[in-house]
């Protein structure tokens, strides 16, 4: 299938990054969110991030202008109807994602591929509630999307080969690398990354080290670009907790038990950079 137009649901951190890279690769993008304000902010962020790439001579000013010209925004979900590929990048809550697919489906062409950028929710279960489980799969970007090279492509139990190949071709056109993953809780990256972050929170909780010493240990001792607590703040502590809960529930193993300190921070509304407070204070 020849994919040209891409509908993106959700203009947050992931959605605006996906719109950025898709438009830069030449796709026509329709980006939707619930409010004009959210869309305005997303466009500002995309503009700023493209400008950063112009300044670092990664792209030309013409590339930037062309990419911006390929992005349309709308608060009407049904405007995404004519898209060849939909990437849902809404809040990491299954009921929200399901409701979006339900509202969207009556407006779609029969051949449209539906995907979710979910970081951990079952693709098979999301797919089973749509009219096209064979044309449904996981399309999981890493944050920050314009920088990170990997895209996880996750097959649900019913995903057909044509759908997988079409998505793999899009990843190739983005100049990114696809990793194929089977549909088990949190797939590959988060299955490995989140227990490490959770363990770092336990290390803090048990007083083994301070925030600074834990992060510098992993940066300088294991060559990670960010320490695990800094990374947790970057990803969002609510997202980290949600993923740990998916692992804990889905694999029924106590090794995935979310650290009580992580739960407490989320309950306090200390969600990391996006709320200006997490393991670090950004105020
Ligand atoms: N858009 C475009 N370019 C960006 C950008 C953005 N949003 N953010 C950073 N960049 C660019 C910078 O311009 C810079 O470009 P050059 O190499 O050309 O100079 C480069 O990225 C590095 O940025 P900085 O110099 O500002 O900062 P840095 O060297 O500290 O790197 C980082 C920042 C890339 C975020 C780095 O710290 C890093 O790789 N951190 C780890 C990120 C990570 O692990 N992400 C995965 C999270 S897990 C996930 O996403 C899955 C999930 O489901 C939760």
| 133-188 pLDDT, tens digit each | 999 999 999 999 999 999 999 999 999 999 999 999 999 999 999 999 999 999 99
Q: 252 a known binding residue?
A: no
Same domain, 60 and 147: yes
Same domain, 100 and 153: yes
144 CA to centre of ligand 1 in angstroms: 5
Same domain, 209 and 157: no
275 CA to centre of ligand 1 in angstroms: 19
Same domain, 174 and 40: yes
If one counts the domains in the chain, the total is 2
24: in domain: yes
Residue 1 has a pLDDT of: 76
**Domain around 254:** 190-275
Binding pocket residue ranges, ligand 1, CB within 6 Å: 49, 52-53, 56, 58, 119, 142-144, 146-148, 189-190, 193, 225-226, 231, 235, 239
Burial (Cβ within 10 Å: 0-12, 13-18, ≥19) of residue 63: middle
In the chain, pLDDT over 90 holds for what percent of residues? 98
280: in domain: no
Final residue in a domain of this structure, among 154, 182, 210? 182
Residue 92 has a pLDDT of: 87
- Per residue in 46-77, pLDDT (tens digit) is 999 999 999 999 999 999 999 999 999 999 99
Q: 81 a known binding residue?
A: no
Same domain, 135 and 115: yes
Residue 127 has a pLDDT of: 98
Same domain, 91 and 174: yes
**HEC-encoded secondary structure of the chain:** CCCCEEEEECCCHHHHHHHHHHHHCCCEEEEECCCHHHHHHHHHHHHHHHHHHHHCCCCCHHHHHHHHHCEEEECCHHHHCCCCEEEECCCCCHHHHHHHHHHHHHHCCCCCEEEECCCCCCHHHHHHCCCCHHHEEEEEECCCCCCCCEEEEEECCCCCHHHHHHHHHHHHHCCCEEEEEECCCCCCHHHHHHHHHHHHHHHHHCCCCCHHHHHHHHHHHHCCCCCHHHHHHHHCHHHHHHHHHHHHHHHCCHHHCCCHHHHHHHHCCCCEHHHCECCCECC
148 CA to centre of ligand 1 in angstroms: 7
Same domain, 141 and 211: no
17: in domain: yes
CATH of the domain at 208: 1.10.1040.10
Same domain, 246 and 152: no
* Residues annotated as part of the active site: 119, 140, 152, 190
CATH of the domain at 149: 3.40.50.720
Final residue in a domain of this structure, among 182, 214, 235? 182
Same domain, 22 and 71: yes
Same domain, 228 and 168: no
Segment 195-200 mean pLDDT: 98
281: in domain: no
228: in domain: yes
Ligand 1 atom nearest residue 194's Cα: 54
282: in domain: no
Residue nearest to atom 42 of ligand 1 (CA): 143
56: in domain: yes
pTM, rounded to two decimals = 0.95
Same domain, 203 and 232: yes
> Is the model's pLDDT at 259 over the cut of 90?
yes
283: in domain: no
Same domain, 69 and 200: no
Final residue in a domain of this structure, among 148, 182, 216? 182
């Amino acid at each position: 299938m020849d994919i040209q137009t891409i509908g993106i649901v959700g203009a947050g951190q992931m959605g605006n990054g996906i719109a950025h890279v898709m438009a830069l690769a030449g796709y026509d993008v329709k980006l939707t969110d619930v409010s004009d304000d959210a869309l305005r902010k997303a466009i500002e962020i995309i503009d700023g991030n493209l400008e950063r790439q112009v300044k670092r001579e990664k792209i030309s000013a013409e590339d930037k202008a062309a990419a911006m010209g390929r992005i349309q925004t709308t608060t009407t979900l049904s405007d995404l109807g004519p898209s060849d590929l939909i990437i849902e990048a809404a809040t990491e809550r299954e009921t929200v994602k399901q409701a979006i697919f339900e509202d969207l489906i009556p407006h779609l062409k029969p051949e449209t591929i539906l995907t979710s950028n979910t970081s951990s929710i079952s693709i098979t279960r999301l797919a089973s509630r749509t009219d096209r489980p064979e044309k449904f799969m996981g399309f999981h970007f890493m944050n920050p999307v314009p920088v990170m090279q990997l895209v996880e492509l996750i097959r649900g139990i019913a995903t057909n080969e044509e759908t997988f190949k079409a998505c793999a071709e899009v990843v190739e056109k983005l100049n990114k690398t696809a990793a194929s993953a089977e549909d088990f809780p949190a797939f590959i990256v988060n299955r490995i990354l989140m227990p490490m972050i959770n363990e770092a929170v336990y290390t803090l909780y048990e007083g083994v080290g301070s925030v600074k010493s834990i992060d510098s240990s992993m940066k300088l001792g294991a060559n990670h670009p960010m320490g695990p607590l800094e990374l947790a703040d970057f990803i969002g502590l609510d997202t980290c907790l949600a993923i740990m809960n998916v692992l804990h529930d889905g694999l029924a193993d106590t090794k995935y038990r979310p650290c009580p300190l992580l739960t407490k921070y989320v309950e306090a509304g200390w969600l990391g950079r996006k709320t200006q407070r997490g393991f670090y204070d950004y105020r």
